[in-house]
Structure 1
Amino acid sequence: MAARTVPAGKRMNLADYLTAGQNRIEQILDALCPPDSETPATIHRAMRYSLFAGGKRIRPLLCIEAARAIRDDVTGVEPAACSLEMIHTYSLIHDDLPALDNDDFRRGKPTNHKVFGEAMAILAGDALLTLAFQTLAQLDGCPAEVRIRLVGELASASGTVNGMIGGQVADIEGERQTPTRELLAYIHQAKTGALLRASLRMGAIWAGATAAQLGALTDYGEHIGLAFQIVDDLLDVEESSAALGKTAGKDATQGKITFPAVYGLERSHRMADDECA
């Protein structure tokens, strides 16, 4: 897939690009998510509490840039990109629940269930999951067959067969087991990698990518997904809770199967570098 050339006058540094992109995503999410004054107000407050808790918006930005790699005009792709952020946020709300990772903080703030209670946190996650697919079904100016492909792509990446939920199940069942490379690969290809890969694929599908273009972006998504997870595992070991915005060291405490547990710190750092090369 040939690289697209950006005119010199339109270039910006990475920090400015991320800030501008994140601000745009925030605006679209704000428009898509019901206001906290809408009845029933409590659930909308809970949804918005986690949705606007300071995420980096990596998944929607990847989706938008994948579309831009295929064609110049990406007007209208942002709602599709935001559906990924809704799924990601729902997964974080549920991950933090006492029945799963039992965490008190996320992005430096009390987790959803600590503020709204477990029942409302479960419902907030459910509501964001539902809103993601409603958003895709209602995409303006998007042919029906493309909307169907986008719904299928997001559902598959979020589901049980090589998807996010399947990875979460393997992660839970793998606690206290002897860490193996095979189980580690499955957990992280599914739990984290599937949604990151889908971010690239959904942008490409929305933009009308050829099979070759979709394949190239899929490969790219698999590499960055793996790099992302390796770095996340390393940060849990090497950073403080204050720096992470969540409880550090929980992977080891809970006996999670991680890259440092299987490969050690030094090799894990090299593996992350290799995936980014």
Structure 2
Amino acid sequence: MSKLASCFVQRGARSQSFKPYSLQRSTSPLSPGRRSVPIVRGVDIAVANASTSSFDFERYLSSKAKAVNHALDLALQGLRCPDSLTESMRYSLLAGGKRLRPALAIAACELVGGHASAALPVACAVEMIHTASLIHDDMPCMDDDPLRRGRPSNHVAFGEPTALLAGDALLALAFEHVARGCVVVPADRALRAVVKLAGAAGVGGVAAGQVADMEGEGAVSVGLAALEYIHVHKTARLVEAAAASGAIVGGAGDDEVERVRRYAHFLGLLGQVVDDVLDVTATSEQLGKTAGKDAAAGKATYPRLMGLEGARAYAGELLAKAEAELDGFDAARTAPLRHLARFVAYRQH
């Protein structure tokens, strides 16, 4: 794992940021009967937020989730395969959730002046890839988790063979969906989006990160550099691909795509740091999955390597870095992405 050190993302100086709207007093329970404390540390919440305070992020996210859910439902209709496979795919893909990755793809497209409809196939594909990775992640040969989003994991509900194949089918369907669905954008943009998504799903992303994660279980030598490699690949790469692909189909130039990708890079790592903190401080009921499982498996986590307060401070740094990448874009168009970053930072499950 020491060979992975080159992938370590250096921690920069803390910048000022703030909590938005209803999340301003968001807290995370440490344990029953103890006072709650914020997830993120090292962030100045007194900075004025007039530029985005009028933006209704909950309404925005809800509208995007509704559009994505409808499109995903349509994508799973009329599949020529055994009903059990379709049901298994639907069970996980339509299980709900905030649809943050699809919303990110759409928001990135709109950021550079594109229309949401151009990014919808990419948004659906991102969610298919993400869902496939979760199905495989939960299986006994991987993380062996019986719960996902508060109900039995796919392999518990449908059996391991069907769950494995449902994940495979969703992964393949993702690329078919982009190829068939990106009819309102030039073919070269669609192809670039496919390349981004494929890279994030395979050896340049999720697959590599998952292998490194499993190899690091119980290893006392796993340090921060190796941990960062795991989560850059297992988590951040797909978030990057969602944002970059959305920007590409929206007509962004290379410099804009790269800035959006860097924003998403920090956002992806931020989400993992918050996940690690919640794994320590929240309950299984709150998370909808088994709490404390990483510690029980001997996995390296940010709280384990940095301490709980250090992990919270690092989350604050990542939030500030993500928002800094949006400076220079049209302020009104950055509102969804700024609020998305804060939503990830201050969520409770």
**TM-score when scaled to structure 2?**
0.74
Aligned residue for 1:100, secondary structure, equals coil
CA positional deviation for 1:12: 4.8
Deviation at 1:34, TM superposition (A): 2.8
Q: Which runs of 5+ in 2 are unaligned?
A: 1-50, 321-349
Amino acid of the structure 2 residue aligned with 1:183: A
The answer (yes or no) to whether the contact 2:106–2:116 under 8 Å persists in 1 is yes
Q: Is the 8 A contact 2:114 2:249 kept in 1?
A: no
1:218 corresponds, among 249, 261, 268, to 261
Residue 55 of structure 1, CA deviation? 2.2
- Counterpart of 1:103? 145
Look up the match of 2:171: 129
Give the distance between the partners of 1:117 and 1:184, measured in 2 at CA.
31
Q: Partner residue of 1:255?
A: 298
Higher relative contact order (CA 8 A, sep 6+): 2
Count of matched residue pairs: 266
| Residue pair 1:35, 1:44 contacting (<8 A) in 2 also | no
Cα distance in 2 for partners of 1:246, 1:208 equals 38
Name 1:173's counterpart in structure 2: 215
What is the identity percentage for the equivalent residue pairs of Structure 1 and Structure 2? Answer: 44
SS at match of 1:103: coil
Secondary structure at the counterpart of residue 54 of structure 1: coil
Match of 2:57 in 1: 14
Q: Pick which of 49-58 and 241-250 moved more.
A: 49-58
Greater helix share, structure number: 1
SS in 1 for 2:118: coil
Q: Is the 8 A contact 2:114 2:251 kept in 1?
A: no
Q: Which letter does structure 2 place at the counterpart of 1:136?
A: V
Partner of 2:105: 63
**Structure 1 residue 118: Cα displacement:** 0.3
Matches within 5 A, 1:221-236: 221-236=264-279
Q: Which runs of 5+ in 1 are unaligned?
A: 1-7
Q: Is the 8 A contact 2:64 2:103 kept in 1?
A: yes
Question: 1:31 and 2:74 equivalent?
Answer: yes
AA aligned opposite 1:265: L
Q: In the TM superposition, what whole-angstrom CA distance separates every residue of 1:53-105 from its partner, at most 9, and x where no partner exists? A: 12221111000000001115332321111100000000000000000000111
Q: CA deviation at 1:52?
A: 1.0
Q: Residue 117 of structure 2 aligns to which amino acid in structure 1?
A: T
* AA at the equivalent of 1:186: Y
Residue 143 of structure 1 deviates from its aligned partner by 2.1
Which residue in the other structure is 1:4 paired with?
none
Which whole-Å CA distance do the structure 1 matches of 2:117 and 2:144 have between them? 40
Deviations 1:25-46 (A, max 9, x none): 101111112358x641110000
Offset from partner CA, 1:220-276 (integer Å, 9 cap, x none): 111111111100111111100000000000000111111111111000001101111
Q: Which residue of 2 aligns with 1:118?
A: 160
What is the root-mean-square deviation in Å for CA atoms of aligned residues?
A: 1.5
**Structure 1 counterpart of 2:132, one-letter code:** Y
Please list, as runs of the form range in 1=range in 2, the aligned pairs for 1:123-162 lying within 5 A after superposition: 123-138=165-180, 139-161=182-204
Map of 1:82 onto structure 2: 124
Between 220-229 and 140-149, report the one with greater CA deviation. 140-149
Q: Hey, what's the Cα distance between the residues in 2 that align with 1:126 and 1:34?
A: 17
Match of 1:204 in 2: 247
The one-letter code matched in structure 2 to 1:276 is L
How many angstroms apart in 2 are the aligned matches of 1:187 and 1:43? Answer: 30
Name the CA distance, whole Å, in 2 between partners of 1:64 and 1:219.
17
Give the stretch that moved more between structures: 70-79 or 50-59: 70-79
CA distance in 2, matches of 1:39, 1:173: 35
**1:65 partner letter:** A
Letter in 2 for 1:125: G
The structure 1 residue matched to 2:311, chosen from 256, 264, 268, is 268
Whether contact under 8 Å (1:201, 1:217) holds in the other structure is yes
Question: C-alpha distance in 1, partners of 2:169/2:234?
Answer: 20
Distance (whole Å) between structure 2 residues aligned to residue 200 and residue 29 of structure 1: 19
TM-score for the superposition, normalised by structure 1? 0.92
